[in-house]
Structures are given as C-alpha cells and as structure tokens.
Structure 1
Amino acid sequence: MRNKEFPQKKVLSLVLCVAVMLSVMVTGAGAAFSDQDKIENTEAVDACSALNIIGGYPDGSYKPEGNIKRSEICKMICVALNGGEEPTLGTPANPTFSDVRNTPNAAWAEKYIESCVSQGIVSGVGGGRFSPNGNVTGSQL
C-alpha cells in the first residue's frame, strides 16, 4: 500500500461490485417509485434501493431522466460504505469548501461531502469550491 486512501477505494469498489452482483439477484425488492415505468435499469435501481443506497425524491419519484448531483453521490457513497445504514457524521467548525454550508439545496449534504473528502474519495473543483449542485460526470464518478 502506497497511501492510506487505498483501503477506502478498495472498499468502495467492493461495495459497488456487490451492488452490481445483487442487481442480478434482486428483482422487485426495491421501492416502487411513482415513475417506475420510466426506469430502464430496474434491476440495478431495485438493488440500490434495497441496499438503502438510494431512496428517491420526497415526491415518491426516482427521476431516471435526471442527473445526479455531486452532493447526492456523496450521500450515496457514505451510505454504501456504512452497509446501507445512515452514518453518524459530523461537520467541521471550518468547512472545507466555501460553497456548501450556505448554499441552498446543498447544506444538507455537508456532512457527507466532508466525510468523502476526509477519506480521499472526492475533491473540490478548484478555488475552494465543491460545486455541490453540479452534475456528476462519468469521469468524476
């Protein structure tokens, strides 16, 4: 091992592999979203839902045509790394990024973002910013 980031990345890779494998085995066990008929990869969505990695939106939808925000993926990673349970996380007195704590629709995710940053899983976009409401790109994922 060359650095301490390796174990977390290995665990994250393992969790994602297990989710993919379970997607083959778990059918119909996930949440029934109000827009279920629009979901193309139902097995993967059902597996992630059954593992509590995703839960949909407050209105009961999944929004499969939508994008995943950088803040949302941090929560998904934290829950996946905690075995599908909501982790107990705190926030630092001084935030790492200037655009999270006081940004509408982003402050809720500060503890997840800070946790992922401290584990070396994610980083900012430069200039002391995280861009929590920005979309996750394939490269970032």
Structure 2
Amino acid sequence: MRELTRKIIPVMLCLSLFVVMAPLATSAAGTLAIKLDVMQLPTGGVELMVYVVNPGSSVTMEFSSGYYYDVEITGSNFHYKDSQGKSYTQAIMKKTFAAGNTPIGFITLPNIPAGSYTYRVWLVGQDVSTSGSFVLGSVPEITDISNSWAKDNITTVVEKKFLTVLDNKFRPTEPISRGEFMYALALATGVKPVTLAELDGKNPFKDVDPKSAVAPYYWAFYKANIVKGYPDGTLRPAGYLTRGEAAKLIALTLPSEPGQNFIPRSPFTDLFGHWSKIYVSYLYEKGVVKGMTETTFGPDLTLTRDQVAAFLTRVMVK
C-alpha cells in the first residue's frame, strides 16, 4: 500500500512574485519552477514559504535591483504587497540556485481574514509561473482524492488544518517539503513551540527566518534533539525527505520512543542494514506505518502527501 502525504490548510490568495532577473547560465537538464507552501497558524493567519525548485544543474541569475522577488496577495477584504529587499538600487545582484529546492522567503500573515483568495507566482522575465486559489477558515472541496487509498486520512488532516489545499487539490502523490511536514507533525502531536530565548538567542538554522511564525516549531525539534540540521548550518525546509527520514522524526516525536532494549522486527526485507530500521520497526509495531508492499517499506523513497496524511492520523493527539 502506498502512503503519501502533505499538509492541509483551507486558504486562497492572490500571490504575485516578481523576480527581475536575466539568467547568466541556464539548466538544460531540468526546468526551474517556483512554489509555495501554505501553513495555517493555530492563532489564526497563515505562514507562506516560497521556494525555487531546480531539478537541473546550478543556475545563476542576475537581478537589476536590490531585490529578486515581490509578493502580492489579494482577497475580497485583504490586500498585501511587499518587496523582499525594499531597495531599488540599480546595482547588479547575482543569485545562484543549486540543484534541488531553495527557500527564498518566509511570509507571516497573522491578520489575514477568513475567506477566498487567488494567487499567482512567477519569475519575472522567465517562462516560470503558477497560479491558483485557496480558502482560509473553512474546509474546501477537494477534487483530486476520490480514488485515493488515503481519502479518509486526507479529509481528516485537511479538517484539522494540518495540511493545505491549493486550487481545491490536495496533490496526494506529490512530495512534501521538510518544513511543511515538520510543522504538520508538530500540530498533530501537540509539540509546543520554543522561543529563540530558550536557545540563548541563537537561531540554529541559517536558512530559517527567525521572524517566521513556524520557526518556533522547528526550534522545538532542535531543542528536543530530534533534528540537528545539516553540517552547513541549514535545515533545508524546502527540500524533500524520504520515508525513512520521516519515520525517524515521527518515532522520536512520540511520547515514548524505541529504548535500548527494543528489538526491531518487521516484515520489510529492504530494511536490512538500513539506518532507519529501528524507527520503522518501532512504528510498524505501533501500527503507524505500513509498507509499499507486504515485504518492502521503501525507506529511501521520497515521502508523499497522502502517506503523510495516513501517518498523521495515526499519531495525532485525540
């Protein structure tokens, strides 16, 4: 059985990202794309994470001013527009996007009212854009899960506002970003946010905006020694994660975790010698995870949104 995932939050905005840039080098291996994750805050409002997806080789772009993207959000009674750099200096600035996903901004909107919104995101001067809608404050119709094995799980996590629906689609088989998954897991399991003061004022992740409303949840995982980040000091919240990585995060987040005397047992032959064996086996015994087949778990496969929905409904605080 496949278990895929993503996060759900009823929302809708009119987002416009202006990225004034001309490529110095382009990627022939893949096409650059821009995406956003929408995370609903428990106290109301939303957090947006904007990131560039680059499946090809490194791409360097040149900007003709002191910023490289703008955002505009519009609803019936709400309008937001802001420049990332707030500087229009005509100095040339270069930006390099490595292969993979690169976070380029966190946007906190604590006062956005319930309602419907439309969004459009694009790189200025490039044939790269996306648009759609979301609803905030109510459960939207989901049009792409009627045949999903995780339909009931998806409906639950959307109703709980753990994950987000964009353009009335949950996108069940698409990958989920690490940042979105960690935030959804924190909400589902009741993880309490940690302030920067509790970390002696030191932000452990240089690619996470300390002013972001979701940063305290990432810091909570750090303070609990569940997540330490990469050697270069990044969390890489826009990156995707594997099923094995997700299993470790979930296992260490639960009130009880595998102890020293735990003997990992499972029917999954592809866990032999794999670092995630103890975590997957522990969750399997608890009924939290299932395999891709009866004998394989797929620890190195990319985690998807429908899988996450299934995981979250099995561990969420009732």
Matched, 1:108 2:275: yes
Instruction: Calculate the TM-score normalised by the size of structure 2.
Output: 0.32
Matches within 5 A, 1:81-120: 81-82=254-255, 87-88=259-260, 89-92=262-265, 95-102=266-273, 107-120=274-287
AA aligned opposite 2:271: V
Worse-superposed segment, 110-119 or 32-41: 32-41
Q: Of the candidates 107, 125, 134, which is equivalent to residue 292 of structure 2?
A: 125
Question: SS at 2:275's partner residue?
Answer: helix
Please tell me whether the aligned partners of residues 15 and 80 of structure 1 are also in contact (alpha carbons under 8 angstroms).
no
Gaps of 5+ in 1: 1-12
Residue of structure 1 in register with 2:304 after alignment: 137
1:14 Cα deviation after fit? 9.3
How many residues align? The count is 118
Please tell me whether the aligned partners of residues 195 and 216 of structure 2 are also in contact (alpha carbons under 8 angstroms).
yes
Please tell me whether the aligned partners of residues 78 and 87 of structure 1 are also in contact (alpha carbons under 8 angstroms).
no
1:39 and 1:90 map into 2 onto residues whose CA distance is 42
Question: SS at 2:237's partner residue?
Answer: coil
Q: How large is the RMSD of aligned CA atoms in angstroms?
A: 3.0
- Is the radius of gyration larger for structure 1 or structure 2? 2
Please tell me whether the aligned partners of residues 53 and 79 of structure 1 are also in contact (alpha carbons under 8 angstroms).
yes
2:276 and 2:259 map into 1 onto residues whose CA distance is 12
Instruction: Calculate the TM-score normalised by the size of structure 1.
Output: 0.66
Please tell me whether the aligned partners of residues 78 and 116 of structure 1 are also in contact (alpha carbons under 8 angstroms).
yes
Matches within 5 A, 1:1-141: 16-19=188-191, 22-23=192-193, 26-28=194-196, 29=198, 32-37=204-209, 41-82=214-255, 87-88=259-260, 89-92=262-265, 95-102=266-273, 107-141=274-308
1:59 Cα deviation after fit? 4.3
2:186 and 2:234 map into 1 onto residues whose CA distance is 28
AA aligned opposite 2:248: K
Gaps of 5+ in 2: 1-184, 309-318
Please tell me whether the aligned partners of residues 207 and 235 of structure 2 are also in contact (alpha carbons under 8 angstroms).
yes
1:82 and 1:66 map into 2 onto residues whose CA distance is 27
Please tell me whether the aligned partners of residues 70 and 133 of structure 1 are also in contact (alpha carbons under 8 angstroms).
yes
Distance 1:108 1:38, change over 3 A: farther
2:267 and 2:230 map into 1 onto residues whose CA distance is 27
